[in-house]
Amino acid sequence: MTKNKVNTPLLQGIALVATLGGFLFGYDTAVISGAISSLETFFIVPYHFSPTWSNTLLGLMVSGALIGCVIGSALGGYCSQKFGRKKTLLLAALLFLCSGLGSAIPELGFLTPGSGDHTFLTPFIIYRILGGMGVGLASVLSPMYIAEISPAAIRGRLVSWNQLAIVTGILVVYFVNYYIVKQGDLTWNQQVGWRWMFASSMIPALLFFVLLLFVPESPRWLILRGQKEKATKIMQKLNMAEEVEAIEVTVVDKPEKQTKRKLKLGPRIWVVGILLSAFQQLVGIQVMLYYAPEIFKSMGQGTDSAMLQTVLVGAANFLFTIIAIYTVDRYGRKPLLLLGSGLMALFMCVLSVCFYTHNLGLGALICVLGFVASFAFSWGPVTWVLLSEMFPNAVRSKIMSVAVAVQWITNYLVSSSFPLLDKNEWLVQSFNHAFSFGLFGLMALLSAVFVWKLIPETKGKSLEQIERIWK
């Protein structure tokens, strides 16, 4: 803790710039939700494939960005160590820009913009993968940068802004998509509207890139690279210069000491990190975010009504994330996860029954909103809190990079398989779309068992105290 008062306005401004990475994380992953039916009509229907192959292609289009997320998160650790936190975030911003432009105009460089047809499906998927790489980099780098630039006393609060930025990005893109849909009829949306949805992401991406030019590099990374003088100047601007010596002792560790500490750790810590990330996706949250308009359409809603109800999903996600920020340090991590798992299981199972019994009115909408709200105050933010704090210093970056990669892989598997399950003729005839939601309810129950048995409570513990839990 510094003796002088921290330059809070400057510190908060730097943190807000970094959270634009989280904002784009949410914006880019959810922007496709309003374009799914148009993309299917524009790219897939003209091929006249079989239902199984068409649904497979649809799943690839929707979740193709997640392939890039896996690549980006895997490269995030290496790039941030080699080139620095700031330069890697700038790379993420450029990838966001490239993806927004290319996804909107996949025929760019081949034909006049706007004249492309379904034969440009492959370039579209490639541009979505590039955007996913930006998301993967931002998902690792934005919270890391905020943590490394912040003093211990307010680090948790500032890092939590990143999760709020993610759900804000999701909420904003729902409004943007709804506004674009209202600009024309069905034919216009199928031919032009979806292009504007993807192009809209270029605005925050450009803002992110420009503002990043004015923020400093992480002082911890500078010290790690032997640039103590530069780090000291940055910390002086923040009135935190006296912390430089303590940071130097912390980040510069002897290799033999790190190896000795790693050898004392058993496999349980890896299992917990991987399963924590996997369960966050296995409960089905991304299906609700990506496919929300299509889910509401399957309830019998029109396009406009479905898009408007999707905005309600984003609003619930946003509001209950704020609740999590104010409760995670008061009630602890484990109780919030257990409560969230129980409520998610309840809402998903009831939603499954609603579909099975063809009772798709207000009750079904309440179940969707209740599920999203339950996730937002528990598994959404708390997973990231635990990933950033519960691993020992010697292995934190390594385990977190693996865990985040697993999270994106699971996200991809769930998102790409959903159309195959939800549109399978036999399953629809037998369960009327209920099967997938019942499966997600089961995963939520299993996540509660996992938390109860394996997750340690880290509330109020120092990093050294947490480290002793794993020995």
pLDDT (0 to 100) of residue 76: 83
> Do 313 and 444 fall into the same domain?
yes
Least confident of 38-52, 65-79, 248-262: 248-262
pLDDT of 254 strictly over 50: no
What CATH number corresponds to the domain at position 87? 1.20.1250.20
Contact 33, 174 (CB under 8 A): yes
pLDDT of 297 strictly over 70: no
Please name the amino acid found at residue 153: A
Q: How confident is the model at residue 263 (pLDDT cuts 50, 70, 90)?
A: very low
Average pLDDT estimate for 284-289 = 79
> Do 158 and 281 fall into the same domain?
no
> Do 397 and 460 fall into the same domain?
yes
Identify the CA nearest to 25 among candidates 208, 272, 181, 159: 208
> Do 40 and 138 fall into the same domain?
yes
| Range(s) of the domain holding residue 336 | 254-471
Establish if 223 belongs to a structural domain: no
Contact 32, 43 (CB under 8 A): no
Domain end marker among 159, 185, 215: 215
Q: Using one digit for the tens of pLDDT, what is the confidence trace for 195-204?
A: 999 999 999 9
Establish if 438 belongs to a structural domain: yes
> Do 314 and 197 fall into the same domain?
no
Average of per-residue pLDDT values in the chain:
82
pLDDT of 173 strictly over 60: yes
pLDDT of 26 strictly over 50: yes
Establish if 465 belongs to a structural domain: yes
More confident residue, 428 or 28: 28
- C-alpha distances out from residue 6 to 141, 233, 249, 321, Å: 23, 14, 21, 27
pLDDT (0 to 100) of residue 102: 94
Q: How many CB atoms lie under 10 A from the CB of residue 2?
A: 15
pLDDT (0 to 100) of residue 403: 85
Count of residues in the chain: 471
pLDDT (0 to 100) of residue 226: 82
For residues 181 and 304, what is the distance between their CA atoms, to the nearest angstrom? 8
Tokens of 249: 């002792």
pLDDT (0 to 100) of residue 57: 82
* Helical packing angle, 268-282 and 434-454, nearest 10°: 150
pLDDT (0 to 100) of residue 2: 45
> Do 260 and 208 fall into the same domain?
no
- C-alpha distances out from residue 223 to 86, 90, 238, 388, 465, Å: 14, 20, 16, 21, 25
> Do 161 and 281 fall into the same domain?
no
Chain-centre distance for alpha carbon 380: 9
Domain end marker among 184, 215, 246: 215
Q: How confident is the model at residue 98 (pLDDT cuts 50, 70, 90)?
A: very high
pLDDT (0 to 100) of residue 465: 66
Report the domain count for the chain. Answer: 2
pLDDT (0 to 100) of residue 86: 94
pLDDT of 470 strictly over 90: no
Q: How confident is the model at residue 461 (pLDDT cuts 50, 70, 90)?
A: low
Q: Using one digit for the tens of pLDDT, what is the confidence trace for 102-141?
A: 999 999 888 888 888 888 888 999 999 999 999 999 988 8
Least confident of 32-41, 290-299, 367-376, 409-418: 290-299
pLDDT of 264 strictly over 90: no
> Do 334 and 190 fall into the same domain?
no
For residues 449 and 308, what is the distance between their CA atoms, to the nearest angstrom? 35
pLDDT (0 to 100) of residue 232: 86
Establish if 298 belongs to a structural domain: yes
Helix (H, G, I), strand (E, B) or coil at 365: helix
Establish if 208 belongs to a structural domain: yes
Establish if 240 belongs to a structural domain: no
pLDDT (0 to 100) of residue 296: 64
Average pLDDT estimate for 237-258 = 62
- C-alpha distances out from residue 182 to 39, 303, 305, 312, Å: 17, 10, 11, 17
Domain end marker among 215, 230, 264: 215
pLDDT (0 to 100) of residue 250: 54
> Do 258 and 175 fall into the same domain?
no
Establish if 222 belongs to a structural domain: no
State which of 54-63, 313-322, 339-348 shows the largest mean pLDDT: 339-348
Establish if 229 belongs to a structural domain: no
Least confident of 101-110, 171-180, 248-257: 248-257
More confident residue, 393 or 97: 97
> Do 284 and 185 fall into the same domain?
no
pLDDT (0 to 100) of residue 280: 93
> Do 201 and 265 fall into the same domain?
no
pLDDT (0 to 100) of residue 251: 57
pLDDT (0 to 100) of residue 432: 74
State which of 188-197, 222-231, 454-463 shows the largest mean pLDDT: 188-197
> Do 26 and 97 fall into the same domain?
yes
